[in-house]
Structure 1
Amino acid sequence: MKKKLSGISIKSKLLFLLVSVSLISVIILFIFTLYVSGEYEEKIYQIQRNNLKIVTENIEKELMGINEISQLLAFNDGVQDRLARGGTSGISDSLDYGLIRQKRDVYNLIKTYKGQSPYITSVIVYGKAETFNEGRAITAKDEGFAKEYQKRMNEAGTSTIWLPLEKQTAALTLVRVIPDIGNLSESDLGMIQIEINMEAIIQKQFEKELLTGNQLYLQILNGKQEIYHTGDMPDFPAMPVSSDGYQKVHVKGTDFFVTSFENSGMGWTYKTFLNINQVTGSVRNLKAVFVICMVVGVLMVAAASFHVFKVMMKHFNEMADKIKDFNQGEFLPETQYQDRKDEIGYVHQNFDHLLLELQNQIEENYVKQLLLKEAQLKALQQQLNPHFLFNTLQTISWSAKINHQKELGEIVDSLGKMMRFNLEENNALITLGSELGFIRHYVRIQNYRYQERLRVEYDVNEKLYEERIPKLAVQNVVENAIKYALETMMETCVIKIFTETEPDAFYLHVEDNGPGIRKEILRAKEELKGLNADGIGIGLVNIQQRMQLLFPPEYYFEVRNTGNGTRATFYLPRVNVKGA
């Protein structure tokens, strides 16, 4: 994948990035708009639901008030006394002024109670022998309705029923039994029928909650029986009651917001149907306008970005052309950017300056390379001198052996091999075996000088001969031991070179039996400051620095006094592990 992308031009990558960012921005803004508008609509629904709940509660309060009026009328002493007399004696009040006055008082009571609610259109009191009414005239059908009401109450075992008014969708009828409280019997004295203008109640509550301008319908259910619905209400499908939320229903091309409320006072269920478009239409229109503006804005930004991208790519391509001209040796600074003060001018001016500097450096390096080649040729010629010296030493060694000067021949031979070692081994790390071979030649020369006063003992695991150590580091330690130990003591100086092995590392020790290294030299080594005049401190610091450069921090070089001399220890990694 990465290899395929590396083959695509920067222009294509940037163009793809620009298009991707634009699309992602549109998608994110669109999702955010949907989320915000959805949350806003949800809040509107909740507000409308709360308003509708208040409407239904107020409607029920009005109906409960009318129910209390019917109860007060049914239990009024004057009504009880009048209906009780009429029911038992079948009286005629044509000549009895007391009865006439009593009847008039009943009419006045009915009129008074009716006037307590502006929504009561008529009140009818049915007695056993007579009927009282206020608000409208009584017809023959009313007597039939009264018998039907009585039958329904007996079947339901209740003293109060609410029914829709016959052929009047905007009205509601309350029918209540008038009990005989004087005789404390189960028989009744008659019924009260109160007709209610439901449309006026609903209209009043809609006006209070500012809902009159909406397409809103109300349905009242007593159990499964509908007792009221607003006029011209469409046939909505039957839906379960949901008292803790709302529903949506689609009827005749219109979406309605449906809420249900169960009020404990009457035991009824109120369902409201509100046209959703009238509630959220403005929100949806605003959302559509916002989406359009958002898309247009993103497209304008994308167009502006593409223009800027095109201009930037033009200047970038000109820089690429400069590099091509430079590679072909035809680069010349352009003058069109010399007077520009913006970032593009600054970049091109400095880019031209860098290319000119680079061009000059290339020309200078070319001359230097020629000079370097000449110096290398001279260095090769000078290398002939060490080889000539080495060959001369070999001749002296051969001559000494012929003249039976064995020791002199061995010394010259060792010196020649040490010179060959220095000429051939140019690496910072050499094998332990090579270092030990060099030390043996060095010690052979020193033994010729010090005779029995110097003895070097070796106890090195041969399996470590192929491991790498710093070049001449051990020889330097041996040389220092001869200088500060052997030359300051009368007895034989014994230098021991021995090893200790671990699975992944090994210790290489160089120990002598001299008087011990001085403290100021050890301090100089620890501080990496080799200032000692005799060179001992300088050599130790040099080894310390080489160890830090060549190996990880866990490997080290240390020097300490043993009480019987000095021990220098190398802790080194094992690379060619062939067993302990």
Structure 2
Amino acid sequence: MKYLSNLPLKQKLSCIILSVLTLILLFFLLALQISKYSYNEQLYRAIAGNLSFSASTISKHLKNIESFSSVVIAQKEVQESLDAVNSNDDVLTLSKNYSLLNEVVSTYQQTYKQNNLSCIALVNPRFTNCSNFPVMSRIPPEFLREILQKAAQASGSAVWISDSSNHYLILSRQIRKTENLSLKPLGYLLLFINLDDLVGDANQAVNTYESGHYLIYDNEKLIYHSEGISQDWALLLYEKLQRPYDIIKQNRHKYFAVRSRIPSYEWNYINLIPYDDINRSIVAVFQLILVILLAGLLLSLFVAHIMMRYVVRDFELLLHKMEIFSQTELQLPESRIDYSQRSDEIGKLHQSFDAMAERIQHLVNTNYRYQILNRDARLKALESQINPHFLYNTLETVNWRAKALKDDTISNIVQSLAALLRATLSNEKSLVPLNYELNLVNNYITIQKIRFEERLLFRFYDSECTENLKNALVLPLTIQPLLENAIRYGMEEMTETCEISVYPYQRGDFLIIEVANQGSSFEENLLENLQNGSKSSHGFGIGLLNINQRIQMLFGDAYGLSFRNEEDKAIAIITLPFIFEEPQSAQSLYSR
């Protein structure tokens, strides 16, 4: 902040403008990201709706195939033919039933071929009847055994098995004898569903993106994937897509992937939409908007620079006026711009400065110089009238005469007064030892005791006043004014004996000096009232303010003068740092 405060006005305005434009740019980029997210959300909702309809269509179609399989395995001709094949080894019987079963599967194939049914197969221990042997021949023997084994374990229920390499979904069911509820195994029914045709037909009415890909998973097992998607990537995609939709990268291409479920089967159904063209369109729009924004920002900077130059020029002229006015004999330079008729803030600043400069010139030419000359004359008159050495010599003469007359009272008064004057007029140090200040106190009290005799009782609590404490540095003439204040308000307003005490002590890093007197009290917030003028500061009030201000000027606001009332005593408290070496601030202040 200090660095910014010291920058020229032009640079400050530039920082403000750049900060505002930067914030606008950042918020705009944030808005673009939000709009992109919103677009993806809308795209997801559209695809998810289509995918949900497609999943429902697939589920319905598979249910129809299951219903169809129930019709086939319960047909009387199929039951009787298979029972005859299993219970008779006669060649003619086998041939007759083989032909009969072939006719059945061919008829059903022609009837249901529009339902993506590629092949119908009836398998029994003697032979296999098939409506489409090229399809059946693609099934490896070990895989066929696995299919029949799973059908046998299902005990007549429909079992769906995926042949993802050939894009077939196979329904297998064990055929059991229904006559007399025998349930004797007779053979197996296999229905081959072409998944490419099934998924294509299900999405034909709702497919917005012709180049989309579809994948079906039973948990983590891959059931189906469209052409153009490898099986390895299909398995990896399932791990990547953990959310309802996401943007997936593969082979430097992006895909918008949406996941749904196929009802009744709870299979995961995923639709992949190529996202490269969509992303390029979005990026192109964003870039166009960004270019327009940057052009607008640059134009704003140019306009702001022109406007700022006019504003800064006015302030530079005002600063130039101030510099010339302060460096010369208070003369205003000629201005090439007339600000007298302007009503804006800068014009008012120039008008106010010109008016102030004229008033200063008037004061300097009429009053100030006259007052300086008058003050110098009065000081020289005082210097010539009062010579401290002449005063000291006069007091020494009075003291010598008092001693000659054997008047000890007058001698003590003169000696104490001379010591006080010498300390006041001759001492040029900004800080003195506490012991030196206490000697002044003793001289002052000596004079006051002679004046008030037995009515004044002075106590100095020196039980804690060690040599270390006596050598601590204090401001000169800080205790004596407080004693004078105590005598004025304690002695002059009382007829009884008044006790006045001085108690110096150390508290941590602080030197505390308490001056207490009986018979008076301090009003609340005395210093604040003196400073703000709510209480008159003439007389002793000026002295209290003087002590407090001198202490705080040298040591800071943590120190100074405070007051408290305790029973029948008014206590003034001086708080100073406990030091033995004069601080640099006191030395520099004194050197001026």
8 Å CA contact retained: 2:52, 2:261: no
8 Å CA contact retained: 1:418, 1:438: no
2:213 aligns to what SS in structure 1? strand
Question: Which amino acid letter does the alignment assign opposite residue 563 of structure 2?
Answer: Y
Residue 437 of structure 1 and its aligned partner are, at CA, apart by 0.7
Aligned match for 1:180, one of 177, 187, 203: 177
Residues 1:255 and 2:254 are matched in the alignment: yes
Change (3 A) 1:460 1:161: closer
Residues 1:277 and 2:276 are matched in the alignment: yes
8 Å CA contact retained: 2:55, 2:269: yes
1:248 aligns to what SS in structure 2? strand
Residue 118 of structure 1 and its aligned partner are, at CA, apart by 5.0
Question: Which amino acid letter does the alignment assign opposite residue 336 of structure 1?
Answer: D
Greater radius of gyration (CA): 1
8 Å CA contact retained: 2:503, 2:514: yes
8 Å CA contact retained: 1:393, 1:412: no
Q: Distance in 2 between matches of 1:399 and 1:283?
A: 113
Question: Which amino acid letter does the alignment assign opposite residue 182 of structure 1?
Answer: E
Residues 1:217 and 2:213 are matched in the alignment: yes
Residue 215 of structure 1 and its aligned partner are, at CA, apart by 1.3
Question: Which amino acid letter does the alignment assign opposite residue 299 of structure 1?
Answer: L
Q: Distance in 1 between matches of 2:490 and 2:165?
A: 132
Q: Distance in 2 between matches of 1:161 and 1:570?
A: 103
Q: Distance in 2 between matches of 1:392 and 1:111?
A: 149
8 Å CA contact retained: 1:219, 1:272: yes
RMSD of the alignment, in Å? 5.5
* Superimposed CA distance per residue, residues 449-472 of structure 1 (whole angstroms, 9 cap, x where no aligned partner): x7xx77867656376777664434
Q: Distance in 2 between matches of 1:553 and 1:523?
A: 19
Aligned to 1:345: 347
8 Å CA contact retained: 1:165, 1:173: no
Q: Runs of 5+ in structure 2 lacking a partner?
A: 152-158, 530-537, 552-558, 581-592
* Superimposed CA distance per residue, residues 302-347 of structure 1 (whole angstroms, 9 cap, x where no aligned partner): 3333232222222222222222332333424555333333333333
8 Å CA contact retained: 1:470, 1:547: no
2:439 aligns to what SS in structure 1? helix
Residues 1:435 and 2:441 are matched in the alignment: yes
2:209 aligns to what SS in structure 1? coil
* Superimposed CA distance per residue, residues 239-292 of structure 1 (whole angstroms, 9 cap, x where no aligned partner): 3333743572435x6433456778696686655432123665554444333333
Aligned to 1:474: 483
Q: Distance in 1 between matches of 2:47 and 2:118?
A: 34
* Superimposed CA distance per residue, residues 537-580 of structure 1 (whole angstroms, 9 cap, x where no aligned partner): x999888777777776874365865xxxxx765544476789xx
What does 1:278-357 correspond to in 2, within 5 Å?
280=279, 282-326=281-325, 327-328=327-328, 329-332=331-334, 335-357=337-359
What does 1:60-139 correspond to in 2, within 5 Å?
60-81=59-80, 84=83, 90=92, 114=111, 118-120=114-116
Change (3 A) 1:145 1:32: closer
Change (3 A) 1:526 1:279: closer
TM-score scaled by structure 2?
Answer: 0.65
What does 1:536-575 correspond to in 2, within 5 Å?
555-556=562-563, 570-573=572-575
TM-score scaled by structure 1?
Answer: 0.67
Aligned match for 1:376, one of 343, 366, 379: 379
1:256 aligns to what SS in structure 2? strand
Change (3 A) 1:394 1:547: closer
Residue 434 of structure 1 and its aligned partner are, at CA, apart by 0.8
Q: Distance in 1 between matches of 2:481 and 2:286?
A: 85
8 Å CA contact retained: 1:319, 1:348: yes
8 Å CA contact retained: 1:180, 1:188: yes
Change (3 A) 1:308 1:374: same
Change (3 A) 1:339 1:399: closer
* Superimposed CA distance per residue, residues 37-60 of structure 1 (whole angstroms, 9 cap, x where no aligned partner): 357536745764575365345313
8 Å CA contact retained: 1:222, 1:269: yes
Q: Distance in 1 between matches of 2:578 and 2:439?
A: 13
2:248 aligns to what SS in structure 1? strand
Q: Distance in 2 between matches of 1:525 and 1:475?
A: 18
Q: Runs of 5+ in structure 1 lacking a partner?
A: 512-516, 530-537, 562-566
